[in-house]
Amino acid sequence: MVAEGRQRIDKWLFFSRVVKSRSLAAKLVVAGRVRINRDKAAQASDQVKPGYVLTITLERRIFIWKVLGAGARRGPAEEARTLYE
């Protein structure tokens, strides 16, 4: 059972529109390009919750995002922006 407010990292990356699909999100995590609170995310099933800091490396850019909430769906960009700061 999943604790309240927690979400799998691959789902969160997909819902926040970092990547276009969950399979790409899983590949990003397995490749070691996602860190959760300075620790490398080992699996796509790792959990994130509000307050965690993610460091995401995409091509030639590095994003540092603070998780504000768990997503319920992959909605419009305005909805996705409420998941991080």
Average pLDDT, the chain: 93
At residue 1 the predicted structure's pLDDT band, cuts being 50, 70 and 90, is very low
Q: How many CA atoms lie within 13 A of 59 on its CB side?
A: 2
Q: Percent of the chain beyond pLDDT 70?
A: 95
What's the rounded Cα separation, in Å, for the pair 5 and 80?
Answer: 16
Q: What are the contacts of 77-80 at 24+ separation with CB within 8 A?
A: 77/17, 80/15, 80/16, 80/17
Mean pLDDT confidence for 48-52: 96
Backbone angles phi, psi at 75, to 5 degrees: -100, -160
Provide CB contacts within 8 A for 3, sequence distance 6+: 47, 49
Structural domain spans, the chain: 7-83
pLDDT tens, residue by residue, 3-46: 568 999 999 999 999 999 999 999 999 999 999 999 999 999 99
Domain 7-83 fold is: 3.10.290
